[in-house]
Amino acid sequence: MSINKGQFQDPTTASEKGIHTDFAKSMTYGEYLNLDELLSAQNCLSDHHDEMLFIVIHQVSELWMKLILHETNSAIKAIQDGQLATSFKRLARVSKIQSQIIQAWDVLSTLTPAEYMEFRDSLGQASGFQSYQYRMIEFTLGYKTSHVLKIYEKDPVLHSTLTKAFHAPSLYDVAIQSLSKSGLEINSDLLDRDFSEPYEADESVKQAWLTVYRDVDQYWDLYQLGEKLVDIEDWLQQWRFRHMKTVERIIGFKVGTGGSSGVTYLKKVLDQRFFPELWDLRTEI
């Protein structure tokens, strides 16, 4: 019985003769993405198998956070320019990215307490508490506390970047300004306030959002903006909850490597609010 060797060939070969295989003078996929640098950045400090998991999960999360900041800052600019439709696209993407970060905790939670303790000491005082991109996200959404800036004084350039974000209007600040631009009455003190100060709920803002939600047809764009903000805070709080439960599952109530109270601190963080009036109005609508 004879066998036609051709039947074992890649079935796509005949129809994909245009596939490029000579890259002597062309950029490859790996070069475009800097994969050599990216995939060599997982430098384990112990011999334990699971340290690679720990590093990769946190690096991937930092990449997603970079994209969140890219999209959120673009949305802020779009809102300031009155291009609300553009901001909706950006903010919808942020929510999808957040869902990816939340799922990352499911992977990390496969790390058991016994396994983590085998390499935890290798971290020294390094901790996710020190993630400057996470602080940037908090600043961008409007939660600002000056004491965290001290963590980054070691790097003057980074400290300067964070300080600039600390003093800039947040996503919610520009949303409130958009309410005012649409003719809704907003406390004038809020429109040109010191944006480094933590935002506190204001009755005029709540009444403006109530007007929007009670007349969706007239204020459709603002209504869409409000719901996009609620989506983002909702997903952020779910991310925080999964973070807290994953930490509790792996180290219980031990003090964090960065010196925080660990789970106790993360539970307190769940009480932080970003867009309070958008949640409060749901009781009154």
Q: How many CA atoms lie within 13 A of 129 on its CB side?
A: 22
176 is known to lie in a ligand binding site: no
147 is known to lie in a ligand binding site: no
219 is known to lie in a ligand binding site: no
56 is known to lie in a ligand binding site: yes
282 is known to lie in a ligand binding site: no
257 touches 124 (CB < 8 A): yes
Nearest alpha-carbon partner for 171 in 122, 113, 232, 119: 232
Q: Which two tokens stand for residue 211?
A: 């007007």
**Rounded CA gap, 87 and 241, in Å?**
27
48 is known to lie in a ligand binding site: no
Nearest alpha-carbon partner for 110 in 43, 45, 56: 56
159 is known to lie in a ligand binding site: no
Q: How many CA atoms lie within 13 A of 282 on its CB side?
A: 7
Residue 84 parent element (H or E): helix 84-108
Q: Which two tokens stand for residue 241?
A: 């909850």
**Rounded CA gap, 244 and 149, in Å?**
23
55 is known to lie in a ligand binding site: yes
The backbone torsions φ and ψ at residue 107, rounded to the nearest 5 degrees and listed phi first, read: -75, -45
Residues in the chain: 285
The b/e string for 1-39 (b: 16+ C-beta within 10 A; e otherwise) is: eeeeeeeeeeeeeeeeeeeeeeeeeeeeeeeeeeeeeee
**Rounded CA gap, 231 and 285, in Å?**
18
49 is known to lie in a ligand binding site: no
The backbone torsions φ and ψ at residue 181, rounded to the nearest 5 degrees and listed phi first, read: -65, -25
Q: Residues annotated in the binding site, as ranges? A: 54-58, 116, 120, 243, 257
Q: Residues annotated in the binding site for substrate, as ranges? A: 54-58, 116, 120, 257
Q: Residues annotated in the binding site for heme, as ranges? A: 243
